[in-house]
Structure 1
Amino acid sequence: MKKLRPSGGYRSSASFQTATIIYDATVWFCEKFLDARSRTVDQMVQAARSGRQNIAEGSRCAATSSQTELRLVNVARASLEELLLDYEDYLRHRRLPQWAPDGPEASSVRAIAAQLRRQDRTDPTNPSDLTDLSDQQRYALYARWLEAEDAALRANAIICLIHQANYLLDRQIAALEAAFIEDGGYSEQLATERLRQRRKEQTDRANTTDRTDLPQPPPCPKCGGLMALRTAKGGKNPGSQFWGCTHYPECKGTLPI
């Protein structure tokens, strides 16, 4: 049975792929540069995980609840914003430099994302097409920053990735909101589909009915005019059908069926 609304497919989305890199990089950043007993470690790892997992969960909920999908994607966006602040705090508290958004370092990190977009969709063997890489292969593209011994280098690169993920999620949220306004929620779509199916069934029945099976109206015994099927509203047999003259009330001719 065809689903009314598609769901899943999150693994191929740029937002989920970027969030996966951020989650992995955060786990290893915390292991290397922060005290495992620090509450900050748990907060950062959980925020990174929430950003990734809520994208996936929202995608899976898309089939039955567009509102739930939208809410979960917003949760993912908020979690990554929280993580962004944690990395900025890390740099500021240690008096480490933060890259300028349009500086050469940040531009180098952003350039990797451009490689992940399919350059030639007509040629699946094109070596510049990196959309089908595994998570490990995709992470390796950023290894020069994410595996660096310099904490500031790692933190700044992850900040760049968070900005990319947030940009993608903002676009995703805007598209979901527009679709909800345009098409309605799942319940509305389900009701519309149900009504469409009922109308189709009625049309199919009408098209397959043999009209010759219906009784042919006899002539009126009083005036000879056309007669039509009528339903008694009162009298001895309310609800029963009979032939009545179409010239009623001038002619009150009737016949039983």
Structure 2
Amino acid sequence: MGRIKPGGGYRELRSFQIATIIYDATWRFCEQYLDARSRMSDQMIQAARSGRQNIAEGSRASSASSQTELRLVNVARSSLEELLLDYEDFLRHRHLPQWAPDSPEAMEVRRSGVFDRTDMTDRSNRTDQSATRQSDDLRYSVYNRWLDHAEPSIRANATICLIHQANYLLDRQIEALEREFIDEGGYSEQLAAARLAERNRKKQDMTDQSDRTDPVPECPKCGKPMVLRTVRNGKSAGRQFWGCTGYPECKGIVEV
């Protein structure tokens, strides 16, 4: 079995990068347009946070179990779906327009996602905090003309576009994890398979050893099974031989 596979590296995931933008945008949105004490504000921020954090947690857990990673990424996907509904509710309750997926506004937001992806943070899973902060700010700045707009409807619609992008990426990520889990399993699954293989190997070794053991001979005189005995006295003391179990009636022996 190979060594434990590395976990982490989630900062390089496009899904995590977009989820970070969504979380930051949602925090600012709720701070400006919703009562901080309201349940909706709390739920939106927590859903955005869950979407981001569970991607990271799942990536870290991948070294222990692909099943755990898959479960956490599914939680992230569900949290972002919940957040999507909250933004749609915000627009609907206030009679504000929602962009169609193929509208010019939505298309422009999607096109803006094509930017420099040469960021090298987290390559070794040792987070450079200053570089990470700069990278996060840079990615957010690509969308800030919508996410920091004075009109709440534009902010909400742009965030909805980003949530759709993140959900699309997470769906692909989940499909890939499902295939990997079926084909390989995670470390715990591989460990269980290796443990079973080792157990079977030991059983086979015991069987092979048993097969190599000399069979108990039958007495050449009476046909009874024989037993291994040792000469105790005389010049042959210590020598082993097969003696008949019918002794003393039968004194048949077989040399070892």
TM-score (norm 2): 0.71
Q: 2:228 aligns with which of 230, 237, 240?
A: 237
Counterpart residue number, 2:244: none
Counterpart residue number, 1:149: 150
Gaps in structure 2 of 5+ consecutive residues: 119-131, 201-211, 218-224, 230-239, 242-253
Counterpart residue number, 2:59: 59
Q: Distance in 2 between matches of 1:229 and 1:36?
A: 80
SS at match of 1:141: helix
The question of whether the paired residues in 1 share the 8 Å contact of 2:65 and 2:185 is answered with no
The question of whether the paired residues in 2 share the 8 Å contact of 1:3 and 1:63 is answered with no
Q: 1:138 to 1:3 in 2, by over 3 A?
A: farther
Give the alignment of 1:33-48 within 5 angstroms: 33-48=33-48
* CA displacement at 1:137 relative to structure 2: 1.1
Q: 1:148 to 1:189 in 2, by over 3 A?
A: same
Counterpart residue number, 2:185: 184
Q: 1:198 to 1:229 in 2, by over 3 A?
A: closer
Q: Distance in 1 between matches of 2:41 and 2:227?
A: 86
Identity of aligned residues (%): 64
Gaps in structure 1 of 5+ consecutive residues: 119-131, 200-227, 243-253
Counterpart residue number, 1:80: 80
Give the alignment of 1:198-213 within 5 angstroms: none
SS at match of 1:164: helix
Alignment root-mean-square deviation, CA: 3.1
* CA displacement at 1:188 relative to structure 2: 3.1
Counterpart residue number, 1:128: none
TM-score (norm 1): 0.71
Q: Does 1:100 align with 2:97?
A: no
Give the paired residue count.
Answer: 206
The question of whether the paired residues in 2 share the 8 Å contact of 1:25 and 1:146 is answered with yes
The question of whether the paired residues in 2 share the 8 Å contact of 1:64 and 1:186 is answered with yes
Q: Distance in 2 between matches of 1:195 and 1:64?
A: 18
Q: Which one-letter code corresponds to 1:237 in the other structure? A: L
* CA displacement at 1:235 relative to structure 2: 3.0
* CA displacement at 1:104 relative to structure 2: 1.2
Counterpart residue number, 1:205: none
The question of whether the paired residues in 1 share the 8 Å contact of 2:54 and 2:75 is answered with yes
* CA displacement at 1:75 relative to structure 2: 0.5
SS at match of 1:237: strand
SS at match of 1:99: coil
The question of whether the paired residues in 2 share the 8 Å contact of 1:4 and 1:190 is answered with no
- Structure number with greater Rg is 2
Q: Distance in 1 between matches of 2:198 and 2:213?
A: 30
SS at match of 2:114: helix
The question of whether the paired residues in 1 share the 8 Å contact of 2:20 and 2:136 is answered with yes
* CA displacement at 1:6 relative to structure 2: 2.5
